[in-house]
Amino acid sequence: MTWVACRSRSRRPWVSDYVNRAKVAVEKSDLPKAKEILQIVLKVDTQHSVAKELMMEVQQRMQRQQRGEQIKQLRSHAEEAMSQKSYEDALAYAEQALTLDKTNPELINLREIARRDVSPAQGENSQRTAISRRLISSGLVLSRVRACSA
């Protein structure tokens, strides 16, 4: 038996133990710990099929968790913007969240509410702008009239 074969056999119990620890960590949803353990295993045995499969599963679950957390934050920002009547911001947050989860009915509903509320708010803003422009122009006219009559 060669030195490499001996070394490989002596590692097997240790590697199997670590893979089992990683499985337990996954079952407990301690994904960072599972990833850390699997990285050690894969440094020692890059071809360990169970460790590779488990690592893929861990990475996918971690990505889903991160996406879920991003969605949760975006939804919270959208709801906060809605409560402050900042409908355009709320719509932007809702649409950004929907890029991560296109079929989420709560996000779709939030986007529709924000869309509905953006239109009247834009109408109010444009009315205010028009009134402000009229007041400014009428103020200019009045000041010119006063200047001419003085």
The domain spanning residue 67 has which CATH number? 1.25.40
- Radius of gyration of the chain, Cα coordinates, nearest whole angstrom: 31
- Please give the tally of structural domains in the chain: 1
What does the pLDDT look like over 96-145, one tens digit per residue?
999 999 999 999 999 999 999 887 655 455 445 445 445 444 444 444 44
Close Cβ partners of 91 (under 8 Å, ≥ 6 residues apart):
78, 111, 114, 115, 118
- Single pTM value for the model: 0.62
Q: Range of 73's domain?
A: 3-149
What does the pLDDT look like over 42-101, one tens digit per residue?
999 999 999 999 999 999 999 999 999 999 999 999 999 999 999 999 999 999 999 999
Chain centre distance of CA 9 = 45
What does the pLDDT look like over 89-107, one tens digit per residue?
999 999 999 999 999 999 9
Distances from the Cα of 49 to the Cα of 27, 99, 127, 130, angstroms:
19, 34, 66, 69
